[in-house]
Amino acid sequence: MLIQKIVQELQDIPEDKLAELYDLIHYFRLGLSQERTQPRTPGLLKGQLGDAFFEPLPEEELQQWE
């Protein structure tokens, strides 16, 4: 069983590194539960974009990007 293989690997880890490994496992597990409870929201910003967002930039601003 996979859990037994994991436990065998853990036995070979130095004692002074176990706290770091525990933190990694603990926060990974917490992240798994958050993935299930929070549906994905598209986009980076909340709210809506106005029509001005889709208008072409003025030539002066385009020049600054080049």
CB-based contact 51:59 (threshold 8 Å)? no
pTM: 0.47
Average pLDDT of every residue of the chain: 84
Name the more confident of 5 and 32. Answer: 5
**What confidence tier does 37 reach under pLDDT thresholds 50, 70, 90?**
low
What are the angstrom distances between the C-alpha of 55 and each of 42, 45, 66?
22, 19, 19
pLDDT of residue 38: 63
pLDDT of residue 4: 95
Q: What is the pLDDT of residues 1-28, one digit of tens each?
A: 899 999 999 999 999 999 999 999 999 9
CB-based contact 18:29 (threshold 8 Å)? no
